[in-house]
Structure 1
Amino acid sequence: MNTIIGRSEEQKILNRLLASGRPELIAVYGRRRVGKTYLIRALFKKEMVFEMSGIHDAALTDQLRNFSIALGKAIASPAPLAPPDNWIQAFAYLDQYLLDLLDGSRPAVLFFDEFPWIHTPRSNFLQAFDHWWNSSATKRPNLKVIICGSAASWMIDKIINNKSGLHNRVTQRIRLLPFTLGETRAYLHYLGAALDPYQLLQLYMAVGGIPYYLQTVLPGESAVQIIDRLCFDKDGVLRKEFDNLYQSLFVNAQQHEKVVRALSQKGKGLTRDEIIATCGLTSGGTTSKLLRELEESGFITPYVPFGKNTNDSIYKLSDEYSMFYLKFIEGAKATGSGSWLRKGHTPAYKSWSGFAFEAVCLKHVAQVKKALGIEGVFTEASGWRYQPLKGNAEKGTQIDLLIDRQDHCINICEMKFSEDVFVIDKNYAGDLDHKVNTFRRITRTRKTLFLTLITTYGVQPNVHTTGRVMAEVTMDALFL
């Protein structure tokens, strides 16, 4: 059996569905390279009785021929099968195979990978599939049908929110996210790569927790060497990944890239109106769909500001690789060995590392809560921005992470990446006081405020920390 690293919650759900004793239609989606196919194949290796993967940008005849090849493999046909004429006929063939195969005594898994790619224009694939599911598959209590796709928005619109034959037919949806820091450490350990937390954090900030990227890590390399080889070498697997990443997921991907590029320039994020103005978009359903597609695919994340609603969301770029590519790889004059080492002491690196560390922390709020000892307390995580009216000389401020607690407390979190123990000086202490005091004054909150520092190696105690910093979280806690 293939080893599965992490994915503990997903494995629990899938194993429960496997033993449910009823037909299951399971939709698994997530961005490209995140490990969807590996998870299903590894977990259901023994139960898999049919597997087909859609072909990107292929014609109907090629998809049908692909189906016949997949069915031929399933039945171990000694000779090639004739392709069906259409999808209605294809599912009739599949039904005949299942009729001969299934006796109802054990679960059987059918896996349709890259499901959106199978539904080519005017192919009627989706109509044939929902007819087959409703008229035949639902009569087989041991049948588990898994449909999987990287085009997350298509999976949401066409399958999960289907208004016709598949309406409310999906019994379980699973959105597979990139590895957390803890899962990344476990995966690299499995690959034989031993990196300390700081090295792991550096690597994660550049390429994220995408298993396909991480599997190229070689034992004995430092984070700098890994990033150099993957991103700056002539044949590095991530040097040109960005060119294919969005094109393979979205129709009219230029608009999606335009939004990603705009957010890469604004580490503090942009509102919907600011995105529209910056990217020259229209205010309407098209923009809402575009933002939803990027969000569902894991490239951007909306954060609802404290005391506001979803209409006031601030969008941030949350894909580490995209952020890194647009900052350092695209248009890089220096490439080859040592490129990343040379950039590690530049102002651009310091600016990027600050925002990249914040993005990682925002993905690991559950770990931050655990480190603070409040994992059992109901909380709402949000950000907050105060921008004075024009003409007002007052200084604005922004807080990227607030943990609003049911026990009448709020953790105001500041996230700082540094190569050593972080030192608060007089100027930064003044900035911290301004944040806390402005937040209390503008929001008029009566809750107790705890200024919390999330850093790599902790905070150096001095006159500016005493009575000001109420809680600390180090990078080690993010791996929990």
Structure 2
Amino acid sequence: MVHKFVNREREMAWLEERWRSGRAELLVLYGRRRVGKTEILRRFIEGKRCLYFLASRTSVRDNLYMLRDKMAEFLGREIFRRVEPGGLGELLVYFAEEVDRPCLVIDEFGYLVELDRGVVSDLQRAWDEELSRRGFFLVLCGSSVSLMETEVLGYKSPLYGRRTGSWRVNPLSFREARAFVPRYRFVDAVKVWAVAGGVPLYLAQFDDGRSFEDNLREAVFRKGSLLYDEGYFLLREELREPATYLSILKYIALGYSSLGKLAGALGMDKTNLTKYLSVLETLGFVKHVVPYGQRRKGIYQVADNYMWFWLKFVLPNQSDLELGRVDAVVERIRHELEMHLGLVLEELTRRLIAEGVIPLPFKPSYVGQWWRGGEQIDVVALDDRNALFAEVKWGRATTHDLDALIEKSQRVDVGHRKRHYLVVAREGDVEGLIDFNTLDRLTAPTF
């Protein structure tokens, strides 16, 4: 598989700037699985005298010996294989004594921490006593966001105050994601976005020379494919109680969005549930959404596109999918999938407005949504003087949609702001409509 490397200029520029500093650097690069961290690091060390090491979950001792052997090969000194390191810090000191400006990238550093929390303290001592004085360039990379933020970056971590920089690698934007399927028009690109989000490895599973439905069958619903059971791996990677978190996510995906309804469905105390939800929010799996003009009455939604899709369409149908009944599942979900794509388009529209991709007559400082009772406005965007209200439709829009939007907006208090209206839809006969052809042009990759 050819690895596409799309628009990681900011991450690369940050690493290059630190490299050029000439000082000792202890950098932490982290982010969810499959987001492209390793490819960033691989590109960064090209042409540099820098050693890359991928940790494993075997044992700390095995990892030290593997790292020692890679150092011996890197240095071209077989005698280095005789080194008997007492710990990671000691091994790095030995390495630093052999190189003018030692440079090392440890990928999946979290595996070492899981094996022995003492690794962090050992590294801290070596950094304070030797490595920082030798201009060591050290990058610690990890896929477990919770572990990296607590054990490596957290206030109680022995390395707290030692790192010289950190970067959480986020998924790609929609425009960046489209570079993986450049032959797809906007409609099919949104469908891919609904499944893969902005995760590069997920996006790479889609072949834009085939129809989206064919991709869905082979890359998602076919047992053995990467996206078939990736949801389980994501939760096991990050969480100590994956079954509990999976239950919470399943009910949120089913529409139990308020804290009260969710607690009732799970049979869980609200206080205890709030702690679990906080963890899911930190990891980016869940978001808490509060309608414009209110401080309470918020709801919980699945924030990760892949998890949202997997929970709604893969997990409930795995009994049939295990037996290879892919065609039956595709037919069963067809109507619900169309409704789901409408919800995805609503959230995407809010993002595109916030990012300035969809042009407005003003630059909004707030982009959200509004609801009260059974009424809803898909997009509310504001600055100090202006307010935009937008209706988003996966299908065709009519003048009735615009009239209804204007009527609903009168119940939203935006003070003396000038009111603007917008309808986003596949097609329609609405004045000022932004249709999918326009969105296709606005979101086309520019790199």
- Tell me, yes or no, whether TM beats 0.5: yes
Task: Check if 1:318 corresponds to 2:303.
Answer: yes
SS of 1:148's equivalent in the other structure is strand
The question of whether the paired residues in 2 share the 8 Å contact of 1:228 and 1:340 is answered with no
2:168 corresponds to which residue?
Answer: 175
Over 3 Å counting, the alpha-carbon distance change for 1:416 and 1:227 in structure 2 is: same
The question of whether the paired residues in 1 share the 8 Å contact of 2:389 and 2:405 is answered with no
2:74 corresponds to which residue?
Answer: 74
Q: Match for 1:127 among 121, 128, 132? A: 121
Q: Match for 2:203 among 194, 204, 214? A: 214
Over 3 Å counting, the alpha-carbon distance change for 1:374 and 1:125 in structure 2 is: farther
2:286 corresponds to which residue?
Answer: 300
Deviation track 1:313-368 (CA, whole Å, cap 9, x = no partner) reads: 54321222222222222243364665676357x4312221212222333443444x
Task: Check if 1:370 corresponds to 2:370.
Answer: no
Over 3 Å counting, the alpha-carbon distance change for 1:471 and 1:348 in structure 2 is: closer
2:379 corresponds to which residue?
Answer: 401
Deviation track 1:372-400 (CA, whole Å, cap 9, x = no partner) reads: 2467x35122333324xxxxxxxx32334
1:450 corresponds to which residue?
Answer: 420
SS of 1:251's equivalent in the other structure is coil
Return the alpha-carbon distance in structure 2 between the equivalents of residues 374 and 84 of structure 1.
66
Structure 1, gaps ≥5 residues long: 388-395
Q: How does 1:338-353 map to 2 (within 5 A)?
A: 338=327, 342=331, 346-353=334-341
Return the alpha-carbon distance in structure 2 between the equivalents of residues 134 and 416 of structure 1.
58
2:366 corresponds to which letter in structure 1?
A: E
Task: Check if 1:327 corresponds to 2:312.
Answer: yes
Return the alpha-carbon distance in structure 1 between the equivalents of residues 152 and 390 of structure 2.
39
Please state how far the C-alpha of 1:127 moved relative to its aligned partner: 0.8
Please state how far the C-alpha of 1:445 moved relative to its aligned partner: 2.7
1:390 corresponds to which residue?
Answer: none
Q: How does 1:75-224 map to 2 (within 5 A)?
A: 75-76=75-76, 78=78, 81=81, 84=84, 86-87=86-87, 90-102=88-100, 104=101, 109-120=103-114, 122-141=116-135, 143-189=136-182, 194-218=183-207, 220-224=209-213
The question of whether the paired residues in 2 share the 8 Å contact of 1:91 and 1:129 is answered with yes
Please state how far the C-alpha of 1:73 moved relative to its aligned partner: 4.2
The question of whether the paired residues in 2 share the 8 Å contact of 1:372 and 1:471 is answered with no
Deviation track 1:191-215 (CA, whole Å, cap 9, x = no partner) reads: xxx3222222211212222211222
1:354 corresponds to which residue?
Answer: 342
2:97 corresponds to which letter in structure 1?
A: L
1:383 corresponds to which residue?
Answer: 369
* RMSD, aligned α-carbons: 3.2
Count of residues paired in the alignment: 437
SS of 2:194's equivalent in the other structure is helix
SS of 2:412's equivalent in the other structure is helix
The question of whether the paired residues in 2 share the 8 Å contact of 1:64 and 1:83 is answered with no
SS of 2:377's equivalent in the other structure is strand
The question of whether the paired residues in 1 share the 8 Å contact of 2:51 and 2:103 is answered with yes
SS of 1:353's equivalent in the other structure is helix
Return the alpha-carbon distance in structure 1 between the equivalents of residues 80 and 181 of structure 2.
41
The question of whether the paired residues in 1 share the 8 Å contact of 2:350 and 2:368 is answered with no
Return the alpha-carbon distance in structure 2 between the equivalents of residues 336 and 80 of structure 1.
56
The question of whether the paired residues in 1 share the 8 Å contact of 2:71 and 2:80 is answered with no
SS of 1:270's equivalent in the other structure is coil
Please state how far the C-alpha of 1:401 moved relative to its aligned partner: 3.0
Q: Match for 2:251 among 236, 243, 262? A: 262
Please state how far the C-alpha of 1:37 moved relative to its aligned partner: 0.9
Over 3 Å counting, the alpha-carbon distance change for 1:234 and 1:93 in structure 2 is: closer
Task: Check if 1:410 corresponds to 2:387.
Answer: yes
SS of 1:301's equivalent in the other structure is strand
Return the alpha-carbon distance in structure 1 between the equivalents of residues 245 and 80 of structure 2.
41
Over 3 Å counting, the alpha-carbon distance change for 1:50 and 1:282 in structure 2 is: farther
Return the alpha-carbon distance in structure 2 between the equivalents of residues 215 and 24 of structure 1.
33
Please state how far the C-alpha of 1:472 moved relative to its aligned partner: 7.1
The question of whether the paired residues in 2 share the 8 Å contact of 1:318 and 1:359 is answered with no
Q: How does 1:431-450 map to 2 (within 5 A)?
A: 431-440=404-413, 445-450=415-420
Return the alpha-carbon distance in structure 1 between the equivalents of residues 289 and 202 of structure 2.
27
SS of 2:94's equivalent in the other structure is helix
| Greater helix fraction, Structure 1 or Structure 2 | 2
SS of 2:205's equivalent in the other structure is coil
Structure 2, gaps ≥5 residues long: none
Return the alpha-carbon distance in structure 2 between the equivalents of residues 78 and 354 of structure 1.
61
SS of 1:179's equivalent in the other structure is coil
Return the alpha-carbon distance in structure 1 between the equivalents of residues 251 and 382 of structure 2.
29
Please state how far the C-alpha of 1:147 moved relative to its aligned partner: 1.4
